[in-house]
Chain A
Amino acid sequence: MMPKDKLRRADVVTAVLLIVLSVAISVGAAQMPLRGTYGGVVNVWYVSPASLPFVISLALLLMGLSLLRAAIRDGGHRGVVRFFAARLLTLPSNRPVHRMIGVVMLLSLYVYWLLGRIDYFVASSLYLVTFMGIYAHRQGPHWMHWVKILALGIGVPLGVGYAFREYLFVPLP
């Protein structure tokens, strides 16, 4: 979790987003049938599919306002823009964030691009070998490190995929 002072600034932004979300939910719910008949059912407000969305919207609005109040009370409204601008400026030198972005990019490439385009086993092996190759620290000789990565990266999808498909009858992507 972020330190408290930075957290409150983020809370100001999320509170505003929540309030906007609650308004959007209300607008969406207002377009659902509230009277007349729908699907053969006579509509009154308590039968309407909009009833729970309205409850959620009201709850989120109240909670968003409460969060905004708490954030402003702790000084979160001061320097919000400066805070986010500073975070963006330090991004190029922030190694932990780069590592995190790398994880998301690798997973996204695997899920959104590789799967469905090439064979599942090949895609999964490529993904695992690349992921481990980038992130795993080398312990011992270079060749041993890569043998371990290739063994896991190729062996796990093959072994697990085969066991899941043939013995557990679980379909694969």
Chain B
Amino acid sequence: MQLLDFFQQIYLVITPVKMGVLFFTVTLGIIFGALPGLTATLGVALLTTATFNFPTDLAIVALIGIYVGAIYGGSHASILINIPGTGAAAATLLDGYPLNLKGRGGEAIGIATIASFIGTLFGMIWVQFFSPLLLKLALNFTSVEFFLLGIFGILICGSLTARDLPVKGWIAGFLGLLLTVVGIDPIQGYYRFTFGNPELFGGIEVIPVLLGGFAIPQVMSVLRENKPHTAAPARVTNIIPPWSIWPRHVKSILRSGLVGVWVGAIPGVGEDVAAWMSYDVAKRGSKTPEQFGTGIEEGVIAPETANNSCIGGAIIPLLTLGVPGSPPAAMLLGAIWLHGVRPGPMLSFEFPHFIPQMAATLFWASVVMLVMGLLMAKISVRILRTPPALFMPIVTFFCVLGSYALGLRVFNLYLMVAFGVLAYFLEEMGYPIAPLVIGMILGPMVDENLRRALIGSQGSLLPFVTRPVAVVLLLLILYSLVSQTPWYRRWRRIRRARLAEKLGEQQI
């Protein structure tokens, strides 16, 4: 039945309008991904504004198109100019650029394109077949589980995205939670932290914060350097790789696909972690790890398969639990809410065709990305010559438009700029923005479910430590906290050293 619905949805996407929009948005996504400083999250956020008045299914097609295109597009910059277009393509650079230096730049782009296509399809299969199972599990979740899931999402996102101390990631997450507390309380209607300002009665909207947090720091960082343009990319010649390379790397492709999906399912972590983890796993599992970094095909296949399969992985918790698996997925969640669709356990009852529709859209987006990615390989060279000082001001123009259009409030613009400047300084001090955004997205879920859970148990905390799924989530929360302490890390180092010693003794 699910499979039939899926094939039906694949057929329903084939309309001139939807395919036209898909081609346009995938191409736009590739350009967004290719240009350093522009990200998939920003692309999805800006397109949310433009698609606000679209019918829901057309808006989803547009947003998935730019998401898939942008995650893949970063590989063009990584391979051609040794600068990742997006964080998701940072690992691709390690072998992609050396391949380019060997005169195989076009082939490297071809490999990245086909690997991304396979990765997106892999993620799509998981969305279609695993999401309904998770939905059935989520139907047993009560307020207790949703509260703990929100806290776990914020903490794990903070741990995995912090570049400096993990506590900075957690601080960012809880600051995001704090922002959601501003406004009228949803249960009693009390005005919390509004300071008498009517503009704050409705709370702080996610989109201006997201646009400010992701766009303005990028604009400030890129224009801070006085560079005329990014770099001079090399010429691209042959882009179709030999077909014989694919059977050699089947194991790597499957492994990278799985890594991508699993990392994607972790709230807020995203495609860049998936790519790095996949590269690391591929290197460790290779018989010739010393060749990684010298320009080998597997060094491009592993990260590119993973970062695109991560899209499907990130969509799974988004649809089933209302918890986004990556920053672009967080923006997608905001867009879905705007169109009146409420992801979560009730999705299969309220919108029974939504999951197959999403999977079908991913399928077509991957096909269009394959076609446009190969066609645009030679055009990317011209795109990458665009001076940042010309397109960065245009990005801020779009952010202003986007922040205003969704709430029709000038106050949102003031918030966007103020928050953007704050986000720049937070990033300079090592605070990641992704947990902050995740905190804002999950804040209402955490707030309402905490109080509902306690109302249900009349103030008792017993359900938090007796319900099975709640106990698992509590243990995961404790693990995500304890695993970042110096004592745990020291214990793991000692344990690994002892293991290595034992193995060494056994070999002797």
Contact = CB atoms under 8 A, between A and B. Distances in A.
A70 B165 contact: yes
Contact of B178 (A25, A32, A64, A160): A25
Nearest to B457: A46
Interface string A10-54: 110010001000000100100011000011010111111101110
Interface in B399-458: 400-401, 404-405, 408, 410, 413-414, 416-417, 420-421, 424, 427-430, 446-447, 450-451, 454-455
Given A96-B224, A135-B393, A137-B389, A115 B171 contact: no
A140 to B, nearest CB: 11
Given A45-B459, A49-B188, A112 B417 contact: yes
Contact of B410 (A131, A135, A173): A173
Nearest to B165: A70
Contact of B171 (A18, A152, A164): A18
Contact of B181 (A53, A103, A149): A53
A156 B392 CA distance: 13
A112 to B, nearest CB: 7
Nearest to B461: A46
B1 interface: no
B189 A56 contact: no
Contact of A131 (B53, B164, B393, B428): B393
B451 A132 contact: no
Contacts of A39: 188-190
Nearest to B416: A111
B405 A115 contact: no
Contacts of A44: 459
A60 B171 contact: yes
Contacts of B185: 49
B188 A164 contact: no
Question: Which among A10, A110, A111, A127 has the highest number of chain B CB atoms within 10 Å?
Answer: A111
Contacts of B228: 137, 139
B462 interface: no
Question: Which among B220, B416, B428 has the highest number of chain A CB atoms within 10 Å?
Answer: B220
B226 interface: yes
Nearest to B460: A46
A115 B416 CA distance: 14
A70 B420 CA distance: 27
A132 B390 CA distance: 6
Nearest to A53: B181
B67 interface: no
A32 B191 CA distance: 9
A128 B398 CA distance: 11
B456 to A, nearest CB: 10
Interface residues of A, number: 70
Interface residues of chain A: helix, strand, loop or mixed (majority)? helix
B163 interface: yes
A151 to B, nearest CB: 10
Contacts of B165: 67, 70
Nearest to A32: B190
Contacts of B220: 100, 103-104
B174 interface: yes
Contact of B190 (A49, A63, A103, A160): A49
A139 B387 contact: yes
Contacts of A63: 167, 170-171, 174
A104 B416 CA distance: 12
B447 A52 contact: yes
B62 to A, nearest CB: 11
A71 B108 CA distance: 44
A32 B189 CA distance: 11
B396 interface: yes
Question: Which among B52, B178, B420, B428 has the highest number of chain A CB atoms within 10 Å?
Answer: B178
Nearest to B421: A104
A171 B177 contact: no
A148 interface: yes
B4 interface: no
Contacts of A128: 393-394, 397
Contacts of B174: 56, 59-60, 63
Given A51-B450, A63-B170, A137-B389, A38 B190 contact: yes
A52 B174 CA distance: 11
Contacts of A116: 410
B298 to A, nearest CB: 30
B223 interface: yes
Nearest to A38: B188
A81 interface: no
B429 A136 contact: no
B168 interface: yes
B35 interface: no
A48 B188 CA distance: 8
A67 B172 CA distance: 13
Given A39-B189, A108-B417, A7 B390 contact: no
Interface in B454-473: 454-455, 459
Given A28-B192, A52-B177, A148-B390, 12 more contacts: A33-B188, A39-B190, A41-B187, A51-B450, A103-B219, A103-B224, A132-B389, A139-B228, A139-B387, A156-B397, A170-B53, A170-B401
A-B pairs with the 3 shortest C-beta distances?
A46-B454, A137-B228, A49-B185
24 contacts: A47-B454, A49-B187, A51-B450, A52-B446, A52-B450, A52-B451, A53-B178, A53-B193, A56-B174, A64-B171, A107-B417, A111-B414, A111-B416, A116-B410, A128-B397, A131-B393, A149-B390, A160-B398, A164-B50, A164-B401, A168-B50, A168-B53, A168-B54, A170-B52
